[in-house]
Structure 1
Amino acid sequence: MAIPLYLVLSSLLFSLVSCDPQTNLLTVACSQYNATPSSTFLSTLNSTLAELNSTTSISNFSNFATAAQPRAGTPVYALLQCRTYLSITDCMTCFSIAVKELRSCGTASGARAIYDGCMLRYESTSFFDEGTEVGNTGVCSGNADDVDSFQTDVQNMVEDLADAVPKISDYAAAVKMDGLYGYAQCVETVNEIVCKQCLEVAVGNIEGCLRDTGGEQLMLDSGGSSKKYVIIGGVVGGIGFLLLIGTFMWISRSRSIRRNRRGNILGATELQGPVIFPYNDLKTATKNFSEENKLGEGGFGDVYKGLLKNGTVVAVKRLATFETSRARDDFDSEVKLISNVHHRNLVRLLGCSSKGNNLLLVYEYMANSSLDKFLFGEKRGALSWKQRLDIMIGVARGLTYLHQEFHVCIIHRDIKSSNILLDDDFQPKIADFGLARLMPRDLSHLSTQFAGTLGYTAPEYAIQGNLSEKVDVYSYGVVVLEIISGRRSNEVKIEQSTQYLLERAWALYETDELMALVDESLNPEEYDEEEVKRIIKIALMCTQSTVAARPTMSGVFVLLTNRSGSLPEPTRPTFIDPTFRVRGEVSSAGSSASASKATISISQFSAR
């Protein structure tokens, strides 16, 4: 029978934790990366934690707070979450203990400490709206006397909690059922969908505890005379958290093992290796890489739909065979890096596999396929203006993370509409980031296997091999023009004197006729003309010839989301068509070409 979770916390639960800050340490993790300069970072961290502490004096303080200093020389973002049933005094006691614990992390760029009653986390990049990540785990303890009955009761309870909590205003609820107590909570900065997803993962973690009778055990004392059975089914960062306390007898180890978990938690605070999938399992999952299962082809290899033994649908990318001796080392190191990139606008790498020269990458599966299908393919016209705008903003957010917020800068190099995938809610996720670094070093990035994408490529990279984050900014600008126009970057319109998309957009900008670029399939009642013109202008700012004149991706994101204020006038782009011809002037930083379509030999292209 479903439990009525919309009621208040059980009085028995209150009596269990009354006047108890619940400071049993469950896990602590420190980043293996140190922030520099250390003195500046520690000063910023101290002031950020002090800001968190000051929230207790605010009248509406509800055991949850965030603080951030994003513009400091070394930014710090921090989050405190206490269980809602704790008093403010107990919450701050738990907070103080957590602060002392994290001081032991020194100048680590990120850290978290999770207790029975509270969670404290800080990072050098914003994480407030993050969901759960691959690799998170539960903390299990002991065994119940009546295992079958206990498992059934637990499963019913946690499923009810996970279903109800995302619908509650403060994302928190507790319940009592036959001597079993449950509590679930999400941080208040996520939305209902993210909360639900996180709690679903937490439920899975708890079910794993129930199945694993030989796993690690923790002794947790509630403060009363009798010991309690405790299962923590958490997710990384404390976004979702389920706590169960029962009156069952159990076998335990020493409390001291809790601290052995230091650093053994996946997330922004740790760099872990990818999950290794057995090659034969992936071969079976993709029906031996059959044409029936092929999702697409790309410069880095073919992609296949796979069904794993546990029922999970994945996308398996089989990389082009690399014969060089360096390929394996590059594969291992780069995949380890990529597997630690987690952002809601980036396709998640779940793991990898290899056999001989066959290198496989396993990604989350995106049911709606790629953006180009909705712009130019069989689903053309299906995207509304709001959906297109959300896609533009989401891609900007994902590139900002790659360029500025991950601990190393990742330049994608191949941003295009077919590398932007859409989830079930049509939210964008960038695919193939980091893969350009896996190319054999004796091959040009713009070799024949990349034919057809030059229309997205910045001129300084295409002609001179000069690589910077602004290469992605240029490509992003071209993609924005595609989203607005519903026209491919390399598509020629005969009626427009064989102008390619970027040429056409610039010509319309010069004549103040930008609305002529808008996809005719869009409903004019869905968009504001001034907003559309502003976004086209932002795209042209991204494609300027002078590299320094282009905004950063974080700047683009601000321009897209802050729709007030005037924009600077963009300067003329350099036009390069997919047949390797330059139209007009090249960047003043390098080569020039006459307006008579000078031909560029492919031997001039190089990657640096």
Structure 2
Amino acid sequence: MLKAFLHVVLFICTLPLIAAQKSSKCENSCGTSKHLPYPFGFSSGCHIRLNCTENSTIVLDKYPVRSVTNDSILIDLPAQCGRPVEALLSMFSHNYAPTSHNGILLQNCSSPVKACRIPTTMVQTNFELLDCGNHSNNNTISCYSEDVNKSTFIDYLSVTRTGCRSLLSAIATGSLGNGSAISLDVQVVELGWWLDGESQCSDDAERVTVLSPLENWPGYRCRCLEGFVGDGYRESLGCRKESSRCSAPKYLSGHCGGTTRVGVLIGGVAAGACLMISVAMMCCFIRRRSHLRTRNRTRRRLCEATGISIPIYPYEEMEKATMNFSDKRRLGTGAYGTVYSGKLPNDEWVAIKRMIHRSDTDNIEQVMNEIKLLSSVSHQNLVRLLGCSIENGEQILVFEFMPNGTLSQHLQRERGNGLAWPVRLTIATETAQAIAYLHSAINPPIYHRDIKSSNILLDYNYKSKVADFGLSRLGMVESSHISTAPQGTPGYLDPQYHQTFHLSDKSDVYSFGVVLVEIITALKAVDFLRPQNDVNLASLAVDRIGKGCLDKIIDPFLMPRQDDWTFSSLHKVAELAFRCLAFHSDMRPSMVEVAAELEQIRLSKYVSLGGNFKASSETSSCSSSSDVSEKPLSLMVKKFELDGRGIYDSVNSLDSEKDRSPNSVEDSWLSEESSPSSNSLLGHVIQ
């Protein structure tokens, strides 16, 4: 006890010194849930300074920051007509600049710009509906890019010499690993960053030279040598051997590894002031120190398992946020945990996932796996991980809050009275894009393994986000599948995977095919109240679609609301679902193909086509034969007959209600007239 008392005295006596030191440090937190890695921050003590807005949004200049990695910064660049091309200069500084992985989209050009790495079809698909006061606008978009093999950054002077007056937007690209380019993000710019001055790399790191594109002055980044992990910087995590344990944590930064240098200066402090410490303060300090030790043990454990650091929340805060895990706050229960809505001290609503107690090993494995995977991806249609709490024998994950529940709840009328078809199709498209991102833009790819309607969450604007990565696994780089015992949800599980134990990207395609059928029919994936042969929804759908009897299983909610486009797109989505549900995985399309086809179907609503749509007789009568080849799926839907009329339907706007508590957000779209606004749908096209 005396030792603890002396610690308290020392702590109080050195408070002024600690405060002075902290004021000169780099502040890297924006709100309670957003933290930037070294060397980024929001104060003058940071090497690369960004800005934190009042609503806890991280911005660079005036552009929102999407993510920060060990070599790049992704910022949003929304499409805007008439923006001067000189606006691109604000993205060049002595510490960062746009890389050659970008395609810069320009307008108002005196002559076409040279060939671009970005496919023309991608530019047209995402920007052809943007109205800049010129009906032939899509033909005026020019794309500028650099040869990635010859240049690291965009040449600003070359952009200004193109003769183009307007900066429309940009598309950031990446690599699939085989040398071919793939679009990662639309309306996004990738900035490469570097540090200048004397090298601050740790002993086990190498200095990577980066040549500044404007000043032509060498900068650097640090990278740990092979066999070591960390960020490589002497002032931050440094580098440590992969097999070694994390060293003593940094109490102020929350990271493990690296070195901590604290200069202690004791002197000139009046002894009388130190002796005024009360026993109550001493007890409070001891308790606080115990909690700090617990949280820092958690940080070390996370660092050892995942190599990353995320915010750690006290368990007491989780209890308070959920009203002691009250049933009133319960959002749902899955195989691995129960999810509650919670309100943090800063009044931010979050989703708190409390893992179900099994063995400690199983619980920790699920938590670590989900943290590792969610921290390695960044996509607008994947749910964001905000932090965790691993105390008192509990494993808790904290996610962004999705106020409109799950897709399953809306399809089963547990929330609202039903979703209009355009809303369902948009949700399907966004979900497919997220899964395609996991399969194609990540190396090695990520297989979700539990795609289902209850894992598709909806935000204030009914934008979809894929959640629950507890079963997800990284794919093997050297092969197209990994071998593992079948796990997943009955009704969604790939039948071939169940027989061979070979998990591939096509297993997720099959599960998504079941989700598409759910969206069309609003039926459960498994329902024992249906006839014995129809218990499994996938089998039921394959049988009905193959016989040309889709109309027999379409959700009755959609039937009175069918117009020409709805009828056509419903059957096209059904055909796509049929292909996804093929027994042999080689017969299924890839998720990239599925996402592209759904986007094309969704955009067809806004194409200026018309005419009276006439259903084929093949769709109005059911075949008694089970031979699918007798009813080619291509005959299920006739092509539109052009007669000059447009089929673009205006729909009323719906304001998002972001200030509502989750208990009061129960609204749903009852018809196309109350579906999302045309501007909202257009936003999905150009994002």
Normalised TM-score (structure 1) = 0.51
CA contact (8 A) 1:271 1:340 kept: no
SS across alignment from 1:25:
coil
How far apart, CA to CA, are the structure 1 residues paired with 2:589 and 2:219? 37
Match of 1:375 in 2: 411
3-state SS in 1 of match to 2:214: helix
Q: What residue ranges of structure 2 are gaps of 5+ in the alignment? A: 1-85, 100-145, 192-210, 225-253, 255-305, 475-483, 605-625, 628-687
> Which secondary structure does the structure 2 equivalent of 1:363 belong to?
strand
Change in CA separation of 1:391 and 1:271 when aligned onto 2, cut-off 3 Å = farther
Distance 2:152 2:571 in 1: 40
- Residue 302 of structure 1 corresponds to which residue in structure 2? 338
The aligned counterpart of 2:607 is none
Whether 1:60 and 2:129 are equivalent positions in the alignment is no
Which of 437, 440, 443 aligns to 1:401? It is: 437
Amino acid at match of 1:486: A
Q: Does 1:25 align with 2:131?
A: no
Contact kept, 8 Å, 2:526 with 2:537, in 1: the verdict is yes
Residues 166-214 of structure 1: CA deviation (Å, up to 9, x unaligned): xxxxxxxxxxxxxxxxxxxxxxxxxxxxxxxxxxxxxxxxxxxxxxxxx
Instruction: Note if 1:510 corresponds to 2:627.
Output: no
How far residue 336 of structure 1 moved from its aligned partner, in angstroms, is 3.6
Match status 1:345 vs 2:414: no
1:75 matches 2:181: yes
Whether the 8 Å contact between 1:436 and 1:445 is mirrored in structure 2 is no
Residue 332 to residue 45, structure 1, CA distance change in 2 (3 Å):
farther
* 1:536 counterpart = 2:574: yes
2:213 counterpart of 1:96: yes
- How far 1:43 moved relative to its partner? 6.0
Deviations 1:130-156 (A, max 9, x none): xxxxx9xxxxxxxxxxxxxxxxxxxxx
Instruction: Extract unaligned runs of 5+ from structure 1.
Output: 1-16, 31-41, 82-93, 108-134, 136-269, 565-582, 585-608
Partner Cα distance (2:545, 2:436) in 1: 27
Q: Cα distance, 1:373 vs. partner?
A: 1.1
2:458 equivalent to 1:422: yes
Q: 1:345-402 CA distances to partner (integer Å, 9 max, x unpaired)?
A: 1111111110143110001111100111110133364211100000110110110111
- The 1:365/1:558 distance shift into structure 2, 3 A limit, reads same
In the TM superposition, 1:566-585 aligns within 5 A as none
Distance 1:496 1:512, change over 3 A: farther
**Are 1:553 and 2:591 an aligned pair?**
yes
Change (3 A) 1:293 1:330: closer
State the distance in 1 between where 2:333 and 2:358 align: 17
Q: Is the 8 A contact 2:432 2:595 kept in 1?
A: yes
For 1:60-105, what per-residue CA distance to the aligned partner results, in whole angstroms no more than 9, with x for missing partners?
A: 3335663666687153778389xxxxxxxxxxxx993288768968
- Rounded to whole Å, the distance in 2 between the matches of 1:402 and 1:488 is 26
- The alpha-carbon deviation at position 434 of structure 1 amounts to 4.4
> Aligned partners of 2:510 and 2:500: how far apart in 1?
15
Q: Could you tell me how far 1:302 is from its partner in structure 2?
A: 0.7
Shift of 1:277: 1.0
- Asked if the contact 1:338–1:434 (Cα under 8 Å) also holds between the matched residues in 2, the reply is no
Given the superposition, is the C-alpha separation of residues 295 and 104 from structure 1 closer, same or farther in structure 2, using an over 3 Å criterion? closer
With over 3 angstroms needed to count, the CA separation of the structure-2 counterparts of 1:343 and 1:69, relative to structure 1, is closer
Partner of 2:67: none
What does residue 219 of structure 1 align with? none
SS of match in other structure, 1:455: coil
1:437-479 CA-partner distances (Å, limit 9, x unpaired): 69xxxx9664xxx6xx311110123333221111111000000
State the 1:334 CA deviation: 4.7
Alignment partner of 1:296: what SS?
strand
- Residue 386, structure 1, aligned to residue 422, structure 2: yes
Q: CA deviation at 1:560?
A: 1.4
Secondary structure of the equivalent of 2:502?
Answer: coil
8 Å CA contact retained: 1:538, 1:556:
yes
Deviation at 1:305, TM superposition (A): 1.2
SS of the aligned residue for 1:378 comes to coil
SS at match of 1:454: coil
Once residues 365 and 540 of structure 2 are traced to their aligned partners in structure 1, the CA distance between those partners, rounded to angstroms, is 45
Inter-CA distance 378–434: structure 2 relative to 1 (3 Å threshold):
closer
Residues 318, 360 of structure 1: 8 Å contact kept:
yes
Q: What CA distance in whole angstroms lies between the structure 1 residues aligned with 2:556 and 2:331?
A: 29
Question: Cα gap change, 1:348/1:284 in structure 2, threshold over 3 Å: closer, same or farther?
Answer: same
CA contact (8 A) 1:52 1:80 kept: no
Aligned positions, number: 358
For the Cα contact (< 8 Å) 1:293–1:306, is it kept in 2? yes
Moved more, 357-366 or 493-502: 493-502
Identity in percent: 32
Partners of 1:316 and 1:552 lie apart in 2 by 33
Per-residue deviation, residues 12-66 of structure 1 (Å, max 9, x unmatched): xxxxx9xx98965356899xxxxxxxxxxx9635468568764333333335663
1:482 and 2:482 equivalent? no
| Correspondence 1:442-521 to 2 at 5 A | 446=487, 453-491=489-527, 494=530, 498=534, 500-521=536-557
Instruction: Note the C-alpha offset of 1:273.
Output: 2.3
Distance apart, 1:408 and its partner CA: 3.5
Aligned residues of 2:456 and 2:464 also touching (Cα < 8 A): yes
Counterpart of 1:370 in structure 2: which amino acid? T
Q: Residues 397 and 101 of structure 1: is their aligned pair in 2 closer, same or farther, counting only changes over 3 Å?
A: farther
Residues 45, 76 of structure 1: 8 Å contact kept: no
SS of aligned partner of 2:213: helix
Task: Find out whether 1:357 has 2:393 as its counterpart.
Answer: yes
| 1:287–1:532 Cα change, 3 Å | same
Is 2:446–2:473's contact at 8 Å kept on the other side of the alignment?
Answer: no
Aligned match of 2:25: none
What corresponds to 2:121 in structure 1? none
CA distance in 2, matches of 1:455, 1:25: 55
Tell me, yes or no, if the aligned pair for 1:305 and 1:315 is still in contact at 8 Å: yes
C-alpha distance in 1, partners of 2:98/2:486?
Answer: 39
Alignment of 1:305-316 (within 5 A): 305-316=341-352
TM-score in terms of structure 2 length: 0.46
Of the three residues 316, 324, 344, the one matched with 1:280 is 316
- Distance in 2 (CA, whole Å) between partners of 1:402 and 1:304 is 26
Q: What secondary structure does 2:563 align onto? A: helix
1:101-126 Cα distance to aligned partner (Å, 9 max, x none): 6896899xxxxxxxxxxxxxxxxxxx
Describe the shift of the 1:21–1:356 C-alpha distance in structure 2 as closer, same or farther (beyond 3 A): closer
